[in-house]
Amino acid sequence: MENPFSWSVSRHDTFSSCQRKYFYSYYAAVEDPEIKRLKKLSALPLWAGNVVHETIESFLKTNDSIPSVTEQEALIRATIHERMLGEWRESEGGSLRFRLFEHEYQVPVDKDDKKILVGIVMRSMRNFFKSEVLARAFEAGRSRWLTVEDLVSFHVGDVEIFLRMDLAFRDTQGRVVIVDWKTGKSEGRFNDIQLAGYALYASEQGWVQKPEEIVTELAYLALPRYVRKGVDQARLDEARGFVVRSAGKMKTLLLDPVLNLARMEDFARIDRPTICRRCNYRALCFPRVERPAAAAMELPAAVS
């Protein structure tokens, strides 16, 4: 099966955390259905982030204005009661479409963890509707929106880069605003390079005449906190150099860089319990790990 080499921030993150995990995700999963299934497992924090992102995406693609608070709350409650409960039950049933890491490995989930999870989704959605950047996007008008979660690619040298911007629009002052919604409380290791990559794409596509016409905004919705940064040529050059170096390191481990062929033994496995016990592929690396009983899902009283 053809599997051309490409680069993304998530691919770099995986490579940096564990080379064996990288091999499983980007090579073995292409050929092996069971490894592909494990790759798709979603741990609770990732699940919460996906729920928020996909709910926001659906809202942005079907609405032209910010709804009333009553309508906002109705959407949030439907997200909790219908989507999240439905997916939890689906995962409990051993679904191939959606499966939580915690159910796969029978990791106990206590009531406080469930309350925290639901709270993250509720706060993130409420703060999304209150955010100044959302108001600016609607003020600009849908005709000035450039992308909403579209998967796109471009090249840095001979390396194809894949990315998906949460939202990009041209504001009323003519600047291109690139927005990345986050549900975590701390800055990810590669958030800045991710946004710089988005800005590089915007510049390559001719959305702006010069980099200074681009503004990036990290929106930490669960807090909330908003980090806005300008863009210049140095930031774009840094992103381009980062991609070239990262892709080069990945290719040094390949059996055949031209054909993008890899062998598992060339990708070292880490042995760090704090990381490995939360890895989707731990059953492959540590098949004798015991699995305690899992807990059932209950909604906090606040959203019942």
What per-residue confidence (pLDDT) applies to 126?
98
| Unique residue bearing structure tokens 């608070």 | 69
The chain-wide mean pLDDT, for the chain, equals 93
Indicate whether 304 belongs to any domain: no
Residue 244 has which token pair? 């070239």
H helices within the chain, ranges in order?
A: 9-17, 19-23, 29-31, 33-39, 44-62, 69-78, 85-92, 101-104, 111-130, 132-140, 191-204, 233-252, 273-276, 282-285
Q: Rounded distance, CA 48 to CA 175, Å? A: 31
d(CA 84, CA 65): 25
Range 160-166 average pLDDT:
97
Written as one string, the DSSP assignment of 112-154 is HHHHHHHHHHHHHHHHHHH-HHHHHHHHH-GGGEEESS-EEEE
For residue 163, the enclosing domain spans 141-252
Residue 23 DSSP SS3: helix
Question: Does residue 301 sit within a domain?
Answer: no
Q: Say whether both 85 and 13 belong to one domain.
A: yes
Q: Which amino acid is at 196?
A: A
Domain contains 302 = no
Farthest CA pair distance, the chain: 59
Same domain, 269 and 131: yes
One domain for residues 154 and 167:
yes
Structural domain ending residue among the three candidates 233, 252, 271: 252
Q: What is the pLDDT of residues 233-281, one digit of tens each?
A: 999 999 999 999 999 999 999 999 999 999 999 999 999 999 999 999 9
Residues 57 and 24 in one domain: yes
Whether pLDDT at 205 is above 90: yes
Tell me the mean pLDDT in the region 41-54. Answer: 97
Number of domains the chain is built from: 2
> Judging by DSSP bridges, how do beta strands 159-164 and 167-170 pair with one another?
unpaired
Together in a domain, 95 and 162 = no
* Rounded percentage of the chain residues whose pLDDT exceeds 90: 89
The reported pLDDT for the residue numbered 294 is 46
Give the Cβ contact number of residue 273 at 10 Å.
Answer: 9
CA pair distance 204, 192, nearest whole angstrom: 18
Task: Please tell me the pTM assigned to this model.
Answer: 0.90
Contacts 24+ apart (CB under 8 A), 235-238: 235/196, 235/199, 235/211, 236/196, 236/199, 236/200, 236/203, 236/211, 238/193, 238/196
Domain co-membership, 21 together with 123 = yes
Domain boundary among the residues 216, 234, 252 is at: 252
- At residue 203 the predicted structure's pLDDT band, cuts being 50, 70 and 90, is very high
Would you say 42 and 50 are in contact if contact means Cβ atoms under 8 Å apart?
A: yes
Supply the pLDDT for residue 301: 47
Contact 208, 216 (CB under 8 A): no
3 lies in some domain:
no
